A and B are shown apart, each in its own frame.
Chain A
Amino acid sequence: MDFIAQVFGSFSLLLDPFNLTYVVMGFLIGTIFAAIPGLTATLAMALLLPLTYSLNVETALMACASIYMAGMCGGSITATTINIPGAPSSMMTALDGYPMQQQGKGALALGHAALGSMFGGAVGALLLIAVAPFVAELSLLVKTTGKFSLLAFALIVVVIAQRGRIPQAGLAACIGLMLATVGLDAMEPVTRFTYGNANLTAGIALMPVIIGTFAIAEVLTQAYSHTDISAAAAAADKVKIRRRDFIPPLSDIRKIGFGCYFKSCLIGYFVGTLPGAGGSMGSFLAYTETVRTSSEPETFGKGNPQGIAASESANNAVCGGAMVPMLTFGIPGDPITAIMLGVLVINGIQPGPQLMADQAGLIAPMLAALLFSAVVLIPLTLWLIGPYFIKIVSIRKDVLYAVIALLAVVGSFVATYSTFQMFMALGMGVLAFYLRRNGFPVITMLLGYILGPNLEEFLRRSLSLSNGDPTTFFTNPDSLFFVVLTLIFFYFLVIRKPAELPGAKAAK
């Protein structure tokens, strides 16, 4: 209860104009990046990561939370109006949003998307606020062997969740683990894989890895693909949106039903807690479940607002879910929470079981900002600048990518004032670009890199404590729990391949 009171007490921080400016700016930047096809809120956060050096950690985390929330709902703007989802999590929104736009109800579709996002974001944040302290307390029961099994579970689940490309995901995870082993060993004074380069003694820093993987790789991808957005820009120019059409009528909301909103939120939230699942899986599952239980499934894909409500409620509820493992175990669920983890690490804060107990004061404002973004900023942004957001797609891409490249390269200099880190970011960008181009999921590489040091440390400590006996992972109950959980996930994701979900046809 103390923590919940602390979160609600943190709303007072939002009255500080400095904090409020960063939260609002974060939300706007997140929305703009999510609305532009090809760009993501992850990229926005990667670019802003270096700037968190000059902010206090509470403000930085609050800005991150608002970018995250904006990133999940911003993609619905172009998904609805021009049938190009700005973010992967809005793919399902386009299925019913665009037909509504074609029927002249585009603004109403955006209103439904905003309402769903608002509801999903708020429920996800409230569940996070209510559940996280208990999970944190439970996580204190997990000892060294259990911690190793938990980290191994997270890494294995991220790999096997990449259906159809498990070997690629496995190799990407190994590359991440390789990067994590560079530098001074955590337990003995031995340097590894530095090849005499003193710059590598402290290891490969997080900043160039994140900037390279998300920002520089994105610039290279755009340079390679040279996406022609002239058709999208022309379509955007034709779209006329009026503010008064945004508000969904009560009859529509009643028809969608509280149950649909709430069920989609729960699906999104629980999907979010799984490593590697993300907003797109959350919205897909919620959408298919809504189609399955609907009395008129044939109306989906033709402009049914229930489809928009399900998809948007779920993908915004993912935000709250994904933060549970990040805050309580230090395991990021998706790229955005991985960068948030980076903000904590950069500021010398170690995420994990003790974080909620010892430094709840740092975390509470972030959760307050998450809730604030969902309940206040989503509807306010739509109302104030919704009619103009669609023009974002017409932005000059040559200038945009030049700006992103400049911010990325100079941003990697900020951390250490070292050109070595800039070269490292470039190297990571080239690596991530080729991995992406060859179908490797870079999130598994990032997770391998982030979890690698702890994975190795807990493995070695566990085996030291058991005098080298590997059965310790099966005899300790906390470890056994995660081993069994890993086997269950392995069974369902690899051995018994999931049957086609009901309603998936409509989704397709």
Chain B
Amino acid sequence: MLLNRQLVFLYLILAVSVGYLVSALNLGAPISDGSLTPAFFPILVGCAAILFASILTLQKLRETRDEPEDTAPRTFTHLWVVVAMFIYIAAFRQLGYFLSSGLFVFALIVLFSSFEKLAIKAVIAAVVTGVAYLMFQQLFGVRLPTLWG
């Protein structure tokens, strides 16, 4: 089983570490005129990261041979939360604080519970958004984007 979830993550980290090391090598020679250049430390870190990632990948490959296949039910709520956050951030300036935050809080309440009692959840979302606005803008003096400028 070369593609279980943990292994995919380790392959990804290994690939990032290799990419980092290549970028570090492209910065130039690690030592110049007897002193260390900006490339030295990243090269060192990149090598260490590849070493650790390789050890972990090999360890995991050995373990997965004996492990039964993971049959636990998969949940995707966390991915929906990431999507909600991404859309929220992208819409934050365009829609302004109130609309974007209200929709975001409502979406998260629904994601963490169920599609029931939506009206009550909408009211809670509105209250949370309003209280957070008062806290940031009035209490701490943070200027939040609004549709009216």
Q: Which residues of A contact B141 (CB under 8 A)?
A: 54
Whether A187 contacts B17 in the complex (CB less than 8 A), given A54-B142, A405-B81, A409-B89, comes out as: no
The answer on a CB contact under 8 Å between B144 and A410 is yes
Q: Which residues of B contact A58 (CB under 8 A)?
A: none
**Among candidates A51, A174, A455, residue contacting B48 with C-beta atoms closer than 8 Å:** A174
The CA-CA distance from A403 to B9 in the complex, in Å, is 30
Q: Is A18 an interface residue (CB 8 A)?
A: no
The answer on a CB contact under 8 Å between A406 and B128 is yes
Whether A193 contacts B20 in the complex (CB less than 8 A), given A171-B13, A402-B112, comes out as: yes
Interface bracket on B: 35 or more
Interface bracket on A: 35 or more
The CA-CA distance from A193 to B21 in the complex, in Å, is 10
Interface stretch, picked from A83-91, A263-271, A358-366, A463-471, is: A463-471
The CA-CA distance from A422 to B90 in the complex, in Å, is 9
Whether A181 contacts B132 in the complex (CB less than 8 A), given A398-B112, A417-B143, A464-B36, comes out as: no
**When each residue 179-197 of chain A gets 1 if its CB lies under 8 Å from chain B and 0 otherwise, what string results?**
0010001011010110000
Interchain nearest-CB distance for B86 vs A (Å):
7
The CA-CA distance from A413 to B17 in the complex, in Å, is 29
Main secondary structure of the interface of B (DSSP, over half): helix
> Which residue of chain A lies nearest to B37 when distances are taken between CB atoms in the complex?
A188
The CA-CA distance from A253 to B136 in the complex, in Å, is 46
Interchain nearest-CB distance for B62 vs A (Å):
13
Q: Which residues of A contact B88 (CB under 8 A)?
A: 409
**When each residue 158-200 of chain A gets 1 if its CB lies under 8 Å from chain B and 0 otherwise, what string results?**
0000000001101100110110010001011010110000000
A-B contact count (CB 8 A): 156
Interchain nearest-CB distance for B137 vs A (Å):
10
Q: Is A326 an interface residue (CB 8 A)?
A: no
**When each residue 447-478 of chain A gets 1 if its CB lies under 8 Å from chain B and 0 otherwise, what string results?**
00000000110011001100110000000000
The answer on a CB contact under 8 Å between A181 and B41 is yes
Q: Which residues of A contact B108 (CB under 8 A)?
A: 398, 401-402, 405-406
The answer on a CB contact under 8 Å between A193 and B111 is no
The answer on a CB contact under 8 Å between B35 and A407 is no
Main secondary structure of the interface of A (DSSP, over half): helix
Interchain nearest-CB distance for B121 vs A (Å):
8
Q: Which of A69-87 contact B (CB under 8 A)?
A: none
> Which residue of chain A lies nearest to B38 when distances are taken between CB atoms in the complex?
A185
The CA-CA distance from A261 to B88 in the complex, in Å, is 50
**When each residue 385-411 of chain A gets 1 if its CB lies under 8 Å from chain B and 0 otherwise, what string results?**
000000000000111011101110110
The answer on a CB contact under 8 Å between A460 and B35 is yes
Q: Is B45 an interface residue (CB 8 A)?
A: yes
Q: Is A226 an interface residue (CB 8 A)?
A: yes
The CA-CA distance from A455 to B10 in the complex, in Å, is 26
The CA-CA distance from A330 to B104 in the complex, in Å, is 38
The answer on a CB contact under 8 Å between A422 and B92 is yes
The answer on a CB contact under 8 Å between B143 and A405 is no
Q: List 14 A-B contacts (CB under 8 A).
A: A50-B142, A51-B140, A54-B140, A171-B56, A178-B17, A188-B37, A220-B81, A222-B112, A226-B75, A403-B132, A409-B88, A410-B101, A417-B143, A422-B92
A residues with a Cβ closer than 8 A to B are: 50-51, 53-54, 167-168, 170-171, 174-175, 177-178, 181, 185, 187-188, 190, 192-193, 216, 219-224, 226, 397-399, 401-403, 405-407, 409-410, 413-414, 417, 419, 422-423, 426, 429-430, 433-434, 438, 455-456, 459-460, 463-464, 467-468
Q: Which 7 residue pairs across A and B have the least CB separation, nearest first?
A: A398-B112, A174-B49, A402-B108, A171-B52, A398-B113, A185-B38, A224-B78
12 additional contacts, CB 8 Å, given A193-B23, A216-B85, A405-B85? A167-B59, A171-B53, A178-B42, A181-B42, A188-B38, A190-B38, A220-B78, A221-B78, A398-B112, A438-B6, A459-B41, A467-B34
